[in-house]
Each structure stands twice: as C-alpha cells, then as structure tokens.
Amino acid sequence: MKKVLITGSAGFIGYHLTKELLDNYLIVGIDNLNAYYDIGLKRDRLKNVGLNIDEASSESIKSKKYDNLYFEKIDLIDKKSLSILFENHKFDYVINLAAQAGVRYSIDFPQTYLDSNITGFLNILELCKTFKIKHLLYASSSSVYGLNNLFPFSESQPVSHPISLYAATKRSNELMAHTYSHLFNIRTTGLRFFTVYGPWGRPDMALFKFTNSILSGKKIDVYNNGKMTRDFTYVKDIVISIAKLIESDAPRLVNKNDININKFSCPNEIFNIASNDPVQLDDFIEIIEKRLGKKAKINYMPLQPGDVPATFANVDELISKIKFSPKTKIKEGVNFFIDWYLKYYNYGQD
Ligand SMILES: NC(=O)c1ccc[n+]([C@@H]2O[C@H](COP(=O)([O-])OP(=O)(O)OC[C@H]3O[C@@H](n4cnc5c(N)ncnc54)[C@H](O)[C@@H]3O)[C@@H](O)[C@H]2O)c1
C-alpha cells in the first residue's frame, strides 16, 4: 500500500479524509491536538477510527480498528520530530490540513497563524523536498479571494487583497508551494475549500454555533444584518475531491523558457473545491430551524472585520481535472450534521 501523511488528522476535514482514504492507503495522521476548540471532540474523532490517544503520549499509536492507520501527536513547528517521522515512513503523498483556522481569531491571535501556517508549512515543504514526496496537497481557503467581487471566483483571478491574516497565510502557502514546485520540481496542489460543513464539524463555525444556540434558546449573532451568502460545501464532497486529486495526472508542463506562458511551468496547481451553489444566510438559518423544529432568536450585527459578505466559486477546473464536483444539497447536508449533533450531544435521551 502507498503511504500517506495527513497532517491535522484529528481535525474536522482530517478525520473525514482519514476515513475516505482507509481502503486504499497506509495512513499516518499527525496533529498537535491544540485547544483552539474542544480537544474532547478531536479525541473522539480519533477514537472513532480506533485511535485511543493518551493525553501525554507522543509515541506513535496504531489503530485498534484498522491495520493501516497510525497516529502521532506532533506539532508542525517541531521540525526535528517531523524529520524523524518522514525518515521512518518514506511517505508517497503528503496532505497538509493542519493549520490555525478561523478568520476572526486571526485578528486577536496573529502569532499562532504565523507559527502553524507559515513556519509549519515551510517545514512540510522542506521535508517534501528532502524526502522526494511524489505529491503534496495542502489546504488553502476561499478567503484568499478577499475583496474580489467578480462572481463566481475562479482560480485565474488575481488574489492580492486578503482582508485577514488567516487569508494572508493561506495565500502565502500557495506562493511558497509554487516556489518549491519551481525550484525543486515538487508536485504541489492547493485546495481552496469553501465553507466546509458536516458531521463532526468545527464548533467555531456557523452551523455548529447556530444549532447549539437554537437548541439552548440563546440568541445567534448574524453578521452583516443577514446579508451574507456562502458557497457551503459538504465535507464528504471535499474528501472525495481530495482522494481523486492525489493520484490524478500531473499537469503537463510548458517550456520553462517561454516567459509568456507561466501557468504550468512547474507542477503546481490550485483548485476551488465548492458546491458552486451559494446560499443566503437567512435561508440557511431557516433550514436549521425547520430541522430542529425551533425558531432562532436573532441578534443582527454589522459585518465583522476580516469577513467577506459573499463567496461563490467556479469549479470548472476541478471538474475538468477529476470529473467530479461537490453535489450534496444544503438541506441534505445540514440534516446530516444535525442528526450527528443530536446524537453526539445526547439530545432527546434521558
Ligand atoms: N472547514 C472549513 O470550512 C475550511 C475552509 C477553508 C480552509 N480550511 C482549511 O482546511 C484545513 C482543515 O480545516 P478544519 O476545518 O478541519 O480545521 P480543524 O481546526 O478542525 O483542523 C485542523 C487540525 O490541525 C491541528 N493543528 C493546528 N495547528 C497545528 C500544528 N501546528 N501542528 C499540528 N497540528 C496542528 C488542529 O489541532 C486541528 O485538529 C485547515 O488548513 C483550514 O485552514 C477549512
């Protein structure tokens, strides 16, 4: 079996990706299990795939459910431990999902973004170079489109106006990856995820927060007075797309000396991964209310610094590359999330 390293494997997308790849790869997951949100949720995700991690342990552990799954608690900024990991495993592919996520948090805690998203990512690039990794795929974000207002966003648009440090670090990752692809011929693929949602989701994101508040009768903060749209993308569609991209054909390169054509002068690509179906925030709330059978109490707020009012992606590049695009409809996906939420938090049980 080919070997894949998934960083951030205790995270929301990392957990789903682990499950998606288990049939075809030997997987090593790493995560620093930081306290940005409930560590219990991260540990439960790991437990669900047979990884019972002891808080203090930094040893590699083997899944009790799957023979081809391992986990180690490692921080991306710990280059020494990362180097040993790469040396021990000789990975074929690396998928870097570990990062400090969240737009609003980056305004108050900028340093953690620099550490995990820039220094950490540099460590990954360096090790991919040293260990001649066949393909590095890494999480970017729709937030790189910043103040762009030409909808739908396509990968060919300039992205020079990020409005949060989070977005700036994700755009920096794309530029760093391009540089390493060019200098060292490493195949790199940037994944611009658009508002990912689904079971085992993140407590800092709207669907989780709204569900929690509606159930407990608390008010929900709705920004830009509700005039927001998001191209919500169901997590299963995200991980299917990643799985298809791993061993997809490498881009055909043009002559490096032809300065007029620089698109594929090195094996570096970037894809929007999104539903291509933006949803108004008001409609989104209504879907949640209907499923919960309870009305939300709404606290309308202005647009928050760092937030963009709308996202909407063109996914033609993704479709032409992997013949697949996200298709889960918002109502269906929200229902899957709420089913999980009610069960996980024991609603309706004594
Ligand atoms: N969820 C979304 O809507 C969305 C949208 C765009 C981009 N992304 C990106 O996708 C990736 C995964 O996002 P997610 O929603 O699963 O977030 P998540 O926070 O649930 O997962 C990230 C995981 O990385 C780990 N981590 C953070 N810093 C680390 C470090 N220095 N070393 C090791 N582990 C570290 C965290 O503990 C966490 O478990 C992130 O890079 C995020 O920025 C997510």
Residue of 45, 55, 97, 169 to test ligand 1 pocket, by largest number of atoms within 8 Å of CB: 97
Cα(223) to ligand 1 centroid in Å equals: 23
Query: What distance separates the 2 farthest-apart alpha carbons in the chain?
Result: 70
The domain made up of 2-197+234-274+314-327 has a fold known as Rossmann fold (3.40.50)
Cα(8) to ligand 1 centroid in Å equals: 6
Distance CA(267)–CA(251), nearest Å, equals 6
Cα(254) to ligand 1 centroid in Å equals: 34
Cα(51) to ligand 1 centroid in Å equals: 19
Domain chopping of the chain, boundaries: 2-197+234-274+314-327
Residue of 114, 193, 284 to test ligand 1 pocket, by largest number of atoms within 8 Å of CB: 193
Q: pTM value?
A: 0.97
Res 54: pLDDT: 76
Cα(4) to ligand 1 centroid in Å equals: 17
Q: Ligand 1 pocket, 236 CB below 6 A?
A: no
Whole-Å CA distances, 168 to 37, 44, 163, 172, 264? 22, 31, 8, 6, 23
Res 263: pLDDT: 63
Q: Relative to the CA of 34, which ligand 1 atom is closest?
A: 37
pLDDT in tens, the chain (350 residues): 999 999 999 999 999 999 999 999 999 999 999 999 999 999 999 999 999 987 667 789 999 999 999 999 999 999 999 999 999 999 999 999 999 999 999 999 999 999 999 999 999 999 999 999 999 999 999 999 999 999 999 999 999 999 999 999 999 999 999 999 999 999 999 999 999 999 999 999 999 999 999 999 999 999 999 999 999 999 999 999 999 999 999 998 877 666 555 567 899 999 999 999 999 999 999 999 999 999 999 999 999 999 999 999 999 999 999 999 999 999 999 999 999 999 999 997 55
Q: Ligand 1 pocket, 102 CB below 6 A?
A: no
Q: Ligand 1 pocket, 189 CB below 6 A?
A: no
Report which protein residue has its CA nearest ligand 1's atom 42.
Answer: 101
Residue of 6, 142, 196, 238 to test ligand 1 pocket, by largest number of atoms within 8 Å of CB: 196
Find the catalytic residue in 15, 25, 93, 166. Answer: 166
Outline where 22-164 has alpha helix (H).
39-48, 79-89, 105-108, 110-113, 120-130
Res 59: pLDDT: 86
Res 254: pLDDT: 76
341 catalytic per annotation: no
Cα(204) to ligand 1 centroid in Å equals: 12
Q: Ligand 1 pocket, 72 CB below 6 A?
A: no
Query: Strand ranges (DSSP E) for the chain?
Result: 2-7, 25-31, 61-62, 69-73, 93-96, 135-141, 188-193, 196-197, 219-222, 229-230, 233-234, 268-273, 279-280, 297-300
Cα torsion at 4, 167, 10, 284 (round to 10°)? -120
How many other CB atoms sit within 10 Å of the CB of residue 96? 26
Q: Relative to the CA of 193, which ligand 1 atom is closest?
A: 6
